[in-house]
Chain A
């Protein structure tokens, strides 16, 4: 494992994190944290939990640097109704907390957590419709 890491410094973040299997491992943990957080769970209270989980998976795939086709405009459109419900920077911060905590729980090295957080952070203005 460590040998191959030496020689593959050109690996993408997504590959370093473990790809789709890592996203699958993270999505339940992350979604559980979000649903348990009274500050933000109203934004995630969808009667179709499977669809909601699929969206969490899309978000995590993006944050992990994985394949995704989301444009900034898609992000804006997808969150516009939440902005109307009062979505603001404090809620975005809470989600960022849960992302970090999820990766910590999965024993991801701090350096890679920082990279994933930076990708997620880059969507802030689009998500908040700024």
Chain B
């Protein structure tokens, strides 16, 4: 008989029982719906070994890679340690090693961690300050030997956490990180596929990481980045992006400004409009969308209608906490 460990508890999975059935029989609270592997309400993550492949059918490839599975169709093949999404509880200490303004509104924050930490560029972590206030930010770099994580943090009006990062957070200060989360990241394979990446404001952070990852893994297809902002303060890393475009023939960069009455030679218009009108079809493309939730959801639909397969669209909408910023 297989055992299933979740949090502090371990249960026996009866023969013929699914992971969901075992957990529900033991009165664990697990969201669920169709119980036939379709609605994905009962998605969980295996923390030790890869789950049975049959329990991952229909999940996004990035989630499969991270050992997510559907509990309602999972018959364990070995003992499993599992967790509900975003409740893995691990916390990692990290120290501020760099803080630098990129624009008046966006700060580049670099944290160094000591313990082992696995992530894909483009995923996000929850940053927690000593009093417990926590916010999610996307990782803008690929894993490397220096054990650092880079973030682009935009100062929000009345933003409690972002204002604190701006005004008070000092070099050497300590923050706590959650495990890396999210399914918006690059996976190798299909290296010749064209990529379209659209980001607004600090939505460039995950895209920057994804591009670095794709290039490091020798993605050979064209990579088109469209970075948009209403005003010049939201556009940053322009020189870095142009240098990257010089260095890699298959990388193309288009900064876009949507605000009116701004003197600049950037392309005028909203980044997603310009991106979508730049190609006849998105059939066969891989699409990454990060930033403003409205832009992300609208563009997701339009990219799908324009031919991109649902499985090839990766998104990260930056929701701002309303009321309690």
A contacts, CB < 8 Å to B: 20, 27-28, 31-32, 35-36, 47, 49-51, 53-55, 57-58, 68-69
**Is there a chain A Cβ closer than 8 Å to B36's Cβ?**
yes
| Closest residue of A by beta carbon distance from B300 | A49
A68 lies within 8 A of B300 (CB): no
| Closest residue of A by beta carbon distance from B36 | A69
Given the complex of chains A and B, what is the CA–CA distance between A50 and B300 in angstroms? 10
Q: A47-B297, A57-B58, A58-B34 are in contact. List 12 more A-B contacts (CB 8 A).
A: A20-B57, A31-B304, A32-B304, A35-B301, A49-B300, A49-B301, A49-B310, A50-B40, A50-B60, A51-B40, A55-B38, A69-B36
Question: Per DSSP, are chain B's interface residues mostly helix, strand or loop, or mixed?
Answer: loop
Given the complex of chains A and B, what is the CA–CA distance between A27 and B310 in angstroms? 9
B35 lies within 8 A of A53 (CB): no
Given the complex of chains A and B, what is the CA–CA distance between A28 and B313 in angstroms? 12
A58 lies within 8 A of B38 (CB): yes
Given the complex of chains A and B, what is the CA–CA distance between A69 and B310 in angstroms? 25
State how many angstroms separate the Cβ of B298 from the closest Cβ of chain A: 11
Interface residues of B in 4-46 (CB under 8 A from A): 34-36, 38-40
Given contacts A49-B304, A50-B60, contact A55 B39 (CB under 8 A): yes
13 pairs, A vs B, C-beta closer than 8 Å: A27-B310, A31-B304, A32-B304, A47-B297, A49-B310, A50-B60, A53-B310, A54-B38, A54-B40, A54-B58, A55-B39, A57-B38, A58-B36
| Closest residue of B by beta carbon distance from A47 | B297
Given the complex of chains A and B, what is the CA–CA distance between A128 and B103 in angstroms? 56
Please indicate the chain A residues that have their CB under 8 angstroms from the CB of B304 in the complex. Answer: 28, 31-32, 35, 49
Please indicate the chain B residues that have their CB under 8 angstroms from the CB of A35 in the complex. Answer: 301, 304-305
Interface residues of B in 303-324 (CB under 8 A from A): 304-305, 309-310
| Closest residue of B by beta carbon distance from A52 | B310
Chain B CB within 10 Å — which of A20, A35, A49 has the most?
Answer: A49
Please indicate the chain A residues that have their CB under 8 angstroms from the CB of B35 in the complex. Answer: 69
Please indicate the chain A residues that have their CB under 8 angstroms from the CB of B301 in the complex. Answer: 35, 49
Given the complex of chains A and B, what is the CA–CA distance between A27 and B38 in angstroms? 13
State how many angstroms separate the Cβ of B13 from the closest Cβ of chain A: 21
Please indicate the chain A residues that have their CB under 8 angstroms from the CB of B34 in the complex. Answer: 58, 69
Question: Per DSSP, are chain A's interface residues mostly helix, strand or loop, or mixed?
Answer: helix
| Closest residue of A by beta carbon distance from B58 | A54
B305 lies within 8 A of A32 (CB): yes
State how many angstroms separate the Cβ of A55 from the closest Cβ of chain B: 7
Given the complex of chains A and B, what is the CA–CA distance between A32 and B58 in angstroms? 18
Chain A CB within 10 Å — which of B39, B57, B310 has the most?
Answer: B310
B36 lies within 8 A of A54 (CB): no
Please indicate the chain B residues that have their CB under 8 angstroms from the CB of A54 in the complex. Answer: 38-40, 58
State how many angstroms separate the Cβ of B55 from the closest Cβ of chain A: 15
Which 7 residue pairs are nearest across A and B when measured between Cβ atoms?
A: A58-B38, A53-B310, A69-B36, A28-B309, A54-B38, A28-B310, A54-B40
| Closest residue of B by beta carbon distance from A56 | B310
Given the complex of chains A and B, what is the CA–CA distance between A57 and B35 in angstroms? 15
Please indicate the chain A residues that have their CB under 8 angstroms from the CB of B40 in the complex. Answer: 50-51, 54
Please indicate the chain A residues that have their CB under 8 angstroms from the CB of B309 in the complex. Answer: 28
Interface residues of B in 36-73 (CB under 8 A from A): 36, 38-40, 57-58, 60
Given the complex of chains A and B, what is the CA–CA distance between A49 and B300 in angstroms? 8
Please indicate the chain A residues that have their CB under 8 angstroms from the CB of B310 in the complex. Answer: 27-28, 31, 49-50, 53
Interface residues of B in 49-103 (CB under 8 A from A): 57-58, 60
State how many angstroms separate the Cβ of A81 from the closest Cβ of chain B: 15
State how many angstroms separate the Cβ of B40 from the closest Cβ of chain A: 6
Chain A CB within 10 Å — which of B57, B58, B305 has the most?
Answer: B58
Please indicate the chain B residues that have their CB under 8 angstroms from the CB of A51 in the complex. Answer: 39-40
Please indicate the chain B residues that have their CB under 8 angstroms from the CB of A32 in the complex. Answer: 304-305
| Closest residue of B by beta carbon distance from A31 | B310
Given the complex of chains A and B, what is the CA–CA distance between A49 and B309 in angstroms? 12
State how many angstroms separate the Cβ of B319 from the closest Cβ of chain A: 12
